[in-house]
Structure 1
Amino acid sequence: MDKKINSIYFSATDTTKKIVSEIAKKISENMDDEITTNNIDFTLPEARKEPVSFTKEDVVIIGVPVYAGRVPNVLLKYLNTIVGNGAFAIPVVVYGNRSYDDALIELKDLLELNGFKVIAGGAFIGEHSFSKILAKNRPDEKDMAIVSDFANRIYTKLTTQDEIQSIAVKGNQPYRKHYMPKDRAGNPTDIRKVTPKTNRNCMDCKLCVKVCPMGSIDERDVSRLNGICIKCGACIKKCPTHAKYYDDVNYLRHKHELEIDCAQRRAPEIFI
């Protein structure tokens, strides 16, 4: 089969990258002939400045994290510059063991509006961006076995169906509102403006500057933000000295609730 396999993803803490890259790798390995592969990581700001387009010869595995049950708002502008031109697409969403709500159907709809034919899709679990214990170390070995099987089934679909069928996925239309945590009184609380703090462990290595997907951390003073914080967890989880942290009461309360209420292991869901 003369197809080009593409992986394209936003992955601040590398969980989405791990899943999307493995799907692309397994499909490519199944191909008997030489197959062209391509990887596009649009996590950092500079990568989102270049429009991307595909053709009918492309198979595109595209992955994003789930934020508040939806595709992250900050990615919608870029995602709408990606042109399918009839390419096959496999949308993948990765969530922190609470729920993916309407993120998968939203990504599927977006891809179809941009000229893709969606032939498979999946919702997988990754360690929650807020926590180091909620879905700890996921995707793990069990998850990756499902990823591998998913890729094999995609390959079979690509090579055995004369007319490759589109798929339906779980979700609501219109989409549900973004999930919002509540305070102690049960009132919705907005944590979007909460930003990380920096403690004395900081050795000014600038790694946080390099990994921030919004380009918001000030290179001259890493304790300052020049833009928004999307709570992706990159600066906290990748800091070698554990110098970044949050101290907002509502944020910490929500984090604790998630760790308690969503502790039971959830399984990936695939659609093909």
Structure 2
Amino acid sequence: MNKKVNAMYFSATDTTKKVVSQIAKKISENMDGEITVNNIDFTLPEGRKESRSFTKEDIVVVGVPVYAGRVPNVLLKYLNIITGNGALVVPIVLYGNRNYDDALIELKDLLELNGFKIIAGGAFIGEHSFSKILANNRPDEKDLAIASDFADQIYKKIIMQDDIQNVMVKGNKPYRKYYKPKNKEGIPVDIRKVKPKTNSNCIDCKLCVSVCPMGSIDESDVSKFNGICIKCGACIKKCPTQAKYYDDQDYLRHKYELEIDYSERREPEIFI
């Protein structure tokens, strides 16, 4: 089979990357016994500056995290300048064990409108960006085994069907509104403007500057922000000295509720 396999992802804490890479790697191994995957990481601002165009000879595994039950709105502009030209695509969303709501169908629709042919889709679980408890250390071995089996099914579909039919995935139309946390009175709260603080553990290594997907952390003073914070968890989870933290009470209450209410393990859902 003369197809090029591409792994394309936004993955601030590497969870989405793990799932997408596993699927793409296994598809590639099935095709030619070798790992020949083209990796396209659009996590950082530099990775979202240029449009991407594919052809019918491409298989693309595209992965994004789920934010508030939807595709992150900060990625929509970039995702809308990717053109498929008949390329086969596998949309993947990764969520923190609460729910993926309408993120998968939204990503599927977006890619379809941009000229991709949807051959499969999946919703996987990764450690929540707010927490080190919720879905801790996921995707784990079981998740990646499911991803590998999913890739085998995708490969079989490609080689056995001359006219590959688009796949249906779970979701609502119109899409549900973005999920909103609530305060103790049950009133929805807006935590979009909440940003992490920096404590005295900071050694000014600038790692947080380099991993921020929005390029928002000030290089001259890492306690300051020059742009938005999307609560991706990169600066907190990757800090070597645990110098970044949140102290907003609405954010912390929401984090605690997620850890309590959604502690039961959820499993990946695949559509093929």
Which TM-score band (shorter chain)?
Answer: over 0.9
Q: Is the 8 A contact 1:3 1:36 kept in 2?
A: no
Aligned to 1:82: 82
Q: Please give the alpha-carbon distance, in whole angstroms, between the structure 2 residues aligned to 1:229 and 1:37.
A: 31
Letter in 2 for 1:92: I
> In the alignment, is residue 28 of structure 1 matched against residue 28 of structure 2?
yes
Aligned to 2:108: 108
Closer, same or farther: CA 34–96 of 1 in aligned 2, 3 Å: closer
TM-score normalised by structure 2 residue count? 0.99
Aligned to 1:251: 251
Aligned to 2:94: 94
Q: Is the 8 A contact 2:25 2:35 kept in 1?
A: no
Q: Is the 8 A contact 1:236 1:245 kept in 2?
A: yes
Q: Please give the alpha-carbon distance, in whole angstroms, between the structure 2 residues aligned to 1:97 and 1:13.
A: 15
1:34 Cα deviation from its structure 2 partner: 6.6
1:87 Cα deviation from its structure 2 partner: 0.4
Closer, same or farther: CA 246–34 of 1 in aligned 2, 3 Å: closer
Give the stretch that moved more between structures: 159-168 or 177-186: 159-168
Closer, same or farther: CA 35–26 of 1 in aligned 2, 3 Å: closer
Q: Is the 8 A contact 2:209 2:216 kept in 1?
A: yes
Q: Which runs of 5+ in 1 are unaligned?
A: none
% identical equivalent positions: 78
SS in 1 for 2:82: coil
- How many residues align structurally? 272
Aligned to 1:146: 146
1:91 Cα deviation from its structure 2 partner: 0.1
Deviation per CA, 1:187-227, whole angstroms, max 9, x where unpaired? 00000000000000000000000000000000000000000
Aligned to 1:7: 7
Closer, same or farther: CA 54–245 of 1 in aligned 2, 3 Å: same
1:1-272 equivalences in 2 (<5 Å): 1-32=1-32, 36-272=36-272
Closer, same or farther: CA 36–241 of 1 in aligned 2, 3 Å: closer
Q: Is the 8 A contact 1:86 1:116 kept in 2?
A: yes
Q: Which runs of 5+ in 2 are unaligned?
A: none
Q: Please give the alpha-carbon distance, in whole angstroms, between the structure 2 residues aligned to 1:216 and 1:164.
A: 42
Q: Is the 8 A contact 1:3 1:35 kept in 2?
A: no
SS in 2 for 1:31: helix
Letter in 2 for 1:248: D
Task: Give structure 1 regions of 4+ aligned residues with deviation exceeding 6 angstroms.
Answer: none
SS in 1 for 2:94: strand
Q: Please give the alpha-carbon distance, in whole angstroms, between the structure 2 residues aligned to 1:142 and 1:46.
A: 33
CA RMSD across the alignment = 0.9
SS in 1 for 2:60: strand
Q: Is the 8 A contact 2:127 2:136 kept in 1?
A: yes
Q: Please give the alpha-carbon distance, in whole angstroms, between the structure 1 residues aligned to 2:59 and 2:30.
A: 14
Q: Please give the alpha-carbon distance, in whole angstroms, between the structure 1 residues aligned to 2:249 and 2:206.
A: 27
Closer, same or farther: CA 36–132 of 1 in aligned 2, 3 Å: closer
SS in 2 for 1:164: coil
1:37 Cα deviation from its structure 2 partner: 2.6
Q: Please give the alpha-carbon distance, in whole angstroms, between the structure 1 residues aligned to 2:252 and 2:35.
A: 47
